[in-house]
Amino acid sequence: MKLNKRLKVLAIGMLFVLTLSNIVGCSSNNGESGYGDIDSTKTLKLVEENEKTLVIDVRGTDAYAEGHLANAINIPFDEFEDKVADLEGYKDQTIILICNTGNKSGKAAKMLVEKGFTNVYNAEDGMDEFDYKTVKYNNITGSEFEKLVEENKDAVILDVRDTKDYDKGHVENSINIPIDEVESRINELKDYQDKEILIYCSVGRRSAQAAEILENSGYKDVSNSVDGVKEYEFKLVK
């Protein structure tokens, strides 16, 4: 009887140790690396909160161009370390890194944490491992948007906010077509089908919708600013 009792105590003790080790094992990545690994469900949930989340696709430019998450900007892994400084303004924002398998994105996530970024996630379910809905238009940050406006004077700038917001202040030389009217007024843009089109709004959500509409209508050179006028200090005129 005493032997059986000792065996039971020993078995319970071993079970406790195994359980504790599993708990530590599951959470060790956050403790050691400083970033969180997330599955496709969590990735999609955070991506939906696009005004709070910056998604960075670290695959090569060709793979990105073939299809990427709707809100993802592209910084190829080979260039990532040199461009971390460009992300300084997003230091306290939620950031998701994604690649094909979760490997390079995990390494990029570690780089960000080492530079003081505080809310970083690695999408373990990469583009090759989950059937994400993808788009082909380009996503850029607010600073990249302004750089393109400055460099390409022939670019068409499209503001898809409500007219009342446009009238309060807009990017110089921009055209205003509110998002609810983009599909019905798309013919107004037909003369610009072969030009670069840069789209912005308040938080990046409506401009992404407009970019997808243009993409589906055959426009090839479309860039969406993931930063809207409420998130980035664009130079606005009245």
Locus of tokens 């690994």: 37
Task: Name the CA radius of gyration of the chain, rounded.
Answer: 23
Catalytic residue among 149, 157, 201, 226: 201
* Inter-residue contact 36 to 121 (CB < 8 Å): yes
201 belongs to the catalytic site:
yes
Active-site annotation, residues? 201
